[in-house]
Structure 1
Amino acid sequence: MSDNLNIALIQTALVWENPQQNRTNFSEKIENIKEPVDLVILPEMFTSGFTMQPSHVAETMQGETISWLTSLASKKQFAITGSLVIEENGNFYNRMVFVHPNGKIEHYDKRHRFTLAGEHKVYTAGSKKIIVDYKGWKICPLVCYDLRFPVWSRNTVDYDVLIYVANWPAPRITAWDTLLKARGIENMCYCVGVNRVGTDDNNHEYSGHSAVYDVLGTRVDTIPFYEEAIEIITLKKEHISNYRSKLNFLSDQDQFSIM
């Protein structure tokens, strides 16, 4: 149980469809983190970029990247999360994994596939939202396009942190900024977004805009736009409890279920 949670956001360019090189690059960046960290957050499809050719990069849950994540989490004694392409039972998933220091692995399969890019044609949609319990913090992990659908992130279980990992392109970055802030406000939680930078092999440009918003929608990080960056932010349980007790907005939300 921890009153504070130190999270490291890694905003970086990705090497197209090259898991080995991306793992190497992330290893170097993580080795340079000297401050105490509880959780490291990587972007969406951090081993490949946002590819619609999953067979080029797909791994299994017993593959090299999961082994690398598990080893890293154990060695550094922090949790690590991000999404990658996983093949399972003949299907491809854009799967966000949450790897605990003790080796436990939880995962969330992206529910809302990005039809504009044809993601729905090659990836299978997830059907379940998960809540990760880590160091006494309830964390809801979601992926990129999920950000546009507030009902899916609706906070009915008093989670503390909402995390979105993304490959969100520069032309629509205003929506990313606006919706991250909104999700934090409406769910009375910390809302964390980790996006990539650089240009992919489809010539899509990414401007980063990774950010952390608090319960009131105030941005509490200083991550630069368009540049590679690593920033460590301390989330505070007291901030959440104080404002939820004072304002109590979550108790007034409409009651309904997703069918």
Structure 2
Amino acid sequence: MQTVTELRVALLQTELVWHDAAANRQQLAAQLKPIQADLIVLPEMFSTGFSMQSNDIAEPEGETLAWLIQQAKQLGAAIVGSVATRLASGCVNRCYFVTPQGDVSFYDKKHLFRMAGEQQAYQAGTGRVLVQYRGWRILLQVCYDLRFPVFSRNRNDYDVALYVANWPAARSHAWRTLLQARAIENQAYVLGCNRVGIDGNKVAYRGDSLIVDYLGQPLADLAPEQPGVLTGALDLTALRQYRQQFPAHLDADEFSLLG
């Protein structure tokens, strides 16, 4: 696939309908329709909200995945977001990356949010997943993964770290700070897409979706608690030049990541 040196990205900061995948697919399709981008990011568990009732909401790889494939084809853009997914072995919080050609990659959330009991409702993923898209190397991450910098450490293997989230308003300062820290320490662009509104457990979300450059500077921001589309353009040439001029990665500590 030909390299696109300027990657147009769009993050959809939206409210979600609790436990109603069909309603969410319908409202998201309307919100996606006018977007023109190379990569579109949806929040964590965009079809149901962040729910621990996995027996009720998790679906096999069926309707929502088919919807993602259809939307990616219609929009001519890759789409990423996570879905509560049922496997033969149990349920996972699965982040899908779907290209306009219908290619599907996925990452199962590794760090499960124990403060909500996520580890009791879902199985943890086993490792990192990177995808190649239009010449860009993209690391897939989900929400709570943001708090674990070793797991997202750039080993000269990605250009963009992408976080889909349902990150509560009560901890918004940590969300914004950590997104910028991950960009600085990894010399990479970071995309953080979060939802707004109040979920079925009465948890409030204020969004704070961000597009952050490799210096840790926000390139685009949305007003808190407001639904909308956050857009920006990522410059691969500028990223590569910065890494050459300030090659901090050459002094990074060697390590092995187990499990």
What pairs up with 1:106-145 in 2 under 5 angstroms?
106-145=105-144
Code of the residue aligned with 1:32 in structure 2: it is: P
Residues 63-119 of structure 1 deviation map (CA, whole Å, 9 limit, x = unaligned) = 110111111111221110000100111310000000011111000000000000000
- TM-score w.r.t. the length of structure 1 is 0.97
Residue 53 of structure 2 aligns with which residue? 53
Residue 12 of structure 2 aligns with which residue? 10
| 2:12 counterpart SS class | strand
Q: Runs of 4 or more off by more than 3 Å in structure 1?
A: none
What pairs up with 1:155-194 in 2 under 5 angstroms?
155-194=154-193
CA distance in 1, matches of 2:254, 2:19: 43
CA distance in 1, matches of 2:221, 2:165: 18
| 1:251 counterpart SS class | helix
Shift of 1:157: 3.3
Shift of 1:231: 2.0
CA distance in 2, matches of 1:104, 1:188: 28
Greater Cα offset, 237-246 or 14-23: 237-246
Residues 101-150 of structure 1 deviation map (CA, whole Å, 9 limit, x = unaligned) = 11110000000000000000110000121110000000001000000000
Code of the residue aligned with 1:21 in structure 2: it is: A
Residue 201 of structure 1 aligns with which residue? 200
What pairs up with 1:1-259 in 2 under 5 angstroms?
1-33=3-35, 36-61=36-61, 63-259=62-258
Code of the residue aligned with 2:14 in structure 1: it is: T
Number of aligned residue pairs: 256
Superposed CA RMSD: 0.8
- TM-score w.r.t. the length of structure 2 is 0.97
CA distance in 1, matches of 2:206, 2:169: 5
Shift of 1:258: 1.1
Residues 222-243 of structure 1 deviation map (CA, whole Å, 9 limit, x = unaligned) = 3111100102210000221111
| 2:257 counterpart SS class | coil
Q: What stretches of structure 2 of length at least 5 have no aligned partner?
A: none
Code of the residue aligned with 1:206 in structure 2: it is: Y
Greater Cα offset, 91-100 or 69-78: 69-78
| 2:123 counterpart SS class | coil
* Overall identity of the aligned pairs, in %: 43
CA distance in 1, matches of 2:238, 2:146: 23
